Amino acid sequence: MKSTFTNNIIFCLAILSSPILSIKAQDLSQILSQGKWIDLSYDFSAQTLYWPNNPTGFKLDTVAEGVTSLGYYYSSYAFTAPEHGGTHLDAPVHFAAYGLSADKIPLEKLTGDAVVIDVSAKALSDRDYLISVNDITDWEAKNGAIKENTIVLFKTGYGQFYPDAEKYFGTAERGAQAIPKLHFPGIDSTTAEWLVRHKIKAVGLDTPSIDYGQSKNFKTHQILLGASIPAFENIANLNLLPVKGAYIVALPMKIKNGSGGPLRIIAWVKNS
């Protein structure tokens, strides 16, 4: 028994140290060294933007901060925040009763190749702009068909306004009375249906919501999340990404049964 166990250990160590695995690891390291990581997330602070009718925002309380009685420095903080604000994830269960919660979304749905569709010229001239199917097909005419399981990101140009609520939301007012005054671009529901039919992996954009500000029924949320397509909202730095060729890693806080949560989303792009 002891001999078998020892032999198994030796066998496993041999595999782990094999030249093949070393070469593969080296290749991955070499590939990553030929590019750079870009942070697509806003930091969380008192300036983080939340939906106007949220009664609270992000709050960081000091538990401990300073030099202890034993002479070493120590700091610890406690934070509270709504799920949906700042750069964050919308999990399917946000708008689908039996959809996956934030902790259940497979990592494969949160990582992958991405394309960036620039609609900023239209969106910046019309705060209520709805991203259309034509915007996608025009992009495809120039860049090729979008493959299945691609992460589709829309650049509206509104990221330049964050965290100025007046310019980003269309109003700096707070409370339920501010909701009718929201004006920012979003994805048209027919476009959402197109994205579902073409089996995209996830969708994201640089506005507060995948639905435009004046939406009443959040149809785009219903369609995409109902099809188990997660959404990334309030994405930063989309202007730093190429139209295609970026690789996305979008890891949300793993909140059990959560409908979303704060998101650290990054992109790897090859050096130009």
Domain spans of the chain, in order of start: 2-33, 37-55+84-270
Six-digit token string for 39: 């942070």
Strand pairing class (88-90; 231-233): antiparallel
Residues linked to residue 85 through DSSP beta bridges, in sequence order: 50
Give the ranges where 91-206 is alpha helix by DSSP (H).
120-123, 133-143, 165-169, 189-197
How many Cβ atoms are within 10 Å of 132's Cβ, its own excluded? Answer: 16
The one-character DSSP state at 85 is B
At the top level of CATH, the class of 37-55+84-270 is alpha beta
Angle, vertex CA 204, rays to CA 200 and CA 209, nearest 5? 125
Per-residue model confidence as pLDDT tens for the chain (272 residues):
444 433 443 334 343 344 434 556 568 899 999 999 999 999 999 999 999 999 999 999 999 999 999 999 999 999 999 999 999 999 999 999 999 999 999 999 999 999 999 999 999 999 999 999 999 999 999 999 999 999 999 999 999 999 999 999 999 999 999 999 999 999 999 999 999 999 999 999 999 999 999 999 999 999 999 999 999 999 999 999 999 999 999 999 999 999 999 999 999 999 98
Q: HSE-up of 30 (CA within 13 Å, CB side)?
A: 6
Rounded Cα distance between 23 and 225, Å, is 40
